[in-house]
Structure 1
Amino acid sequence: MRRSLSALFAFLAAPLVTALAMLVILPPPATADRTVVGGQPAHTALAPWAVALGSRERFGEARSGQFCGGVVVGPTTVLTAAHCLSRDVLGVDWREVRDLRVIIGRDDLRGSGGVEMAPRWVWINPGYDRIGRSGDVAVLTLPRRLPRIYGIAMAPDGDRAYEPGARAAVYGWGDTRGNGSYASTLRATRVRVLPDEACEEAYPGDVEGEYRADSMMCAGLPTGGRDACQGDSGGPLVARGKLVGLVSWGGGCAEAGRPGVYTRISEVLSMMTASG
């Protein structure tokens, strides 16, 4: 199930197919009743690119076996965090997970809305540093093309979406309180992109980790209270309508002075360019 990075991203450079005959026909993204730390209900109808990763074999039937998030960036291309597919998370080598699924268009993980797809190919960044946590990205290639509305544009280097102070939102089905209270419905929380200096001060390389501005970015609020948490890993951070980050790591959840750290999408794009 491995494939070169350049081949996996080939679809991103090509125009999306618009003819209905060439699209996978999906039901409309499901909506959920009103029910991420400091977040509020969100809906895949408005954020169709926000997807869940699930394995009932590893994590049980509840919540569709969800264990991480992901984001659709091309007709068959889903990004997630490399650590989501690690033995530390799955308990086994990812190749041994027989029912790995990308769950698309499902707000409420207790239901059956949307569709589930087993990835056709999996690429895990060989440069991912498990200790330093840099390069935390993986790519899942779907077996069928998605309609154009399911993808989100990735912000290139220099885009204003990365500017400190930019309003952003992070999406996921993870822990809503930092105590194991996992959400069943999609949630989002509003944060701000923070300057690299603040991130470096928060994570100077102690036991919690080291912030690296070349491959990471961070977001949150100075007072805390809003953040991604366990179970949100690999999910999208969106600013100015573009994908800027993937949930990666942080010190606790929504703590003051401990913002969430994200894989910087401009670095992912540079990896694509370097791979040809």
Structure 2
Amino acid sequence: MRPTIRAALGAVALILAVPASAAADESVVGGKPVRPSQSPWAVALASHQRFGEQRSGQFCGGVLVGHATVVTAAHCLGREVLGLPWQEVKDLRVVVGRNNLTAKEGQEVKIAKVWVHPHYNSWTNEDDMAVITLQERVPNQPIQIAGPNDGVYEAGNTATVYGWGDMTGDGSYASRLRSARVNVLRDTVCARAYPGSADGTYNAASMLCAGEPKGGRDACQGDSGGPLVVRGQLVGLVSWGTGCGRAGSPGVYTRASALLPAVLTHGAG
């Protein structure tokens, strides 16, 4: 998933990665390619200046929750990933409606404003959330954020994670959006795996645990900020974890219900 030797490694891997082959697009840490109609709300954060021309300059994922509002992980907009403050990345864009990052369909939309949670902690990974307001409304269908009392957060539910990130954990990045099925796990599973160390500290109030106990299907570097979906509702954002698809090291996601106050306050609709 996201590297525990901090997000800087994900940025370095993205800069150095060789574009994935067409054959590689057929698999992703236990996943598969996605048709555009299946996920119109899955977007990419991109900068050609920082990450090159390949794959549209993608470096993180995001989720369209309004026609001009995108949510993503706070660490995606941090200096560890971008190498400088996000305000200094002059060509920072949100790529909408482009499943294949080597193609030209869809839009690269400019950003009007960014809200990053003021209490985001890069050591514990607490409050790993940000809200982006686009300069223009887009026609793509947003996804609904699941409320705190919705049953979709219950352990045992099947969830789907989406992204363009590393497919193997060794820097093989996909050009086409793909998804992987994972299970929502009990909070105690992540609490045992991440009790508090350099890897991070699991907090059930703002985080969600998901993955496979035996490993295999998972998100990875470059997927950060992307959606975790249950029954058509957003339940999480790819945030952090140890490695990619490791047994005993499930993925930790920003709990989507914790985003609701920020979206209501800072979103553009």
Same fold per superposition (TM over 0.5): yes
Query: Pairwise mapping of residues 79-228 of structure 1 onto structure 2 (< 5 A)?
Result: 79-147=71-139, 149-228=140-219
Q: 1:164 to 1:110 in 2, by over 3 A?
A: same
Matched, 1:41 2:33: yes
Determine the C-alpha separation between the residues in 2 that align with 1:150 and 1:234. 18
- Number of matched pairs: 244
- Note the aligned Cα RMSD (angstroms): 1.8
Query: Pairwise mapping of residues 5-24 of structure 1 onto structure 2 (< 5 A)?
Result: none
Find the residue that maps to 1:136 and give its secondary structure: coil
TM-score normalised to the size of structure 2? 0.87
Matched, 1:54 2:46: yes
One-letter code of the match for 2:44? Answer: A
Determine the C-alpha separation between the residues in 1 that align with 2:151 and 2:101. 34
CA contact (8 A) 2:131 2:263 kept: no
What is the CA distance between 1:44 and its match in structure 2? 2.4
CA contact (8 A) 1:45 1:105 kept: no
What is the CA distance between 1:41 and its match in structure 2? 0.4
Find the residue that maps to 1:52 and give its secondary structure: strand
CA contact (8 A) 1:102 1:118 kept: yes
Determine the C-alpha separation between the residues in 1 that align with 2:126 and 2:201. 9
Q: 1:101 to 1:197 in 2, by over 3 A?
A: same
Identical-pair percentage: 58
Determine the C-alpha separation between the residues in 2 that align with 1:180 and 1:131. 24
Deviates more, 1:111-120 or 1:32-41: 32-41
Determine the C-alpha separation between the residues in 1 that align with 2:138 and 2:132. 13
Structure with higher Rg: it is 1
One-letter code of the match for 2:80? Answer: D
What is the CA distance between 1:270 and its match in structure 2? 4.1
TM-score normalised to the size of structure 1? 0.85
Determine the C-alpha separation between the residues in 2 that align with 1:143 and 1:199. 38
What's the CA shift string for 1:214-268, capped at 9, x where partnerless?
A: 1101100111100000000000000111000000000110001101100001111
CA contact (8 A) 1:44 1:50 kept: no
What's the CA shift string for 1:35-81, capped at 9, x where partnerless?
A: 34111001222100000011000000000000000000011100011
Determine the C-alpha separation between the residues in 1 that align with 2:95 and 2:264. 28
Q: 1:61 to 1:190 in 2, by over 3 A?
A: same
- Residue 27 of structure 1: aligned partner: none
Structure with greater contact order relative to length (CA < 8 Å, sep ≥ 6): 2
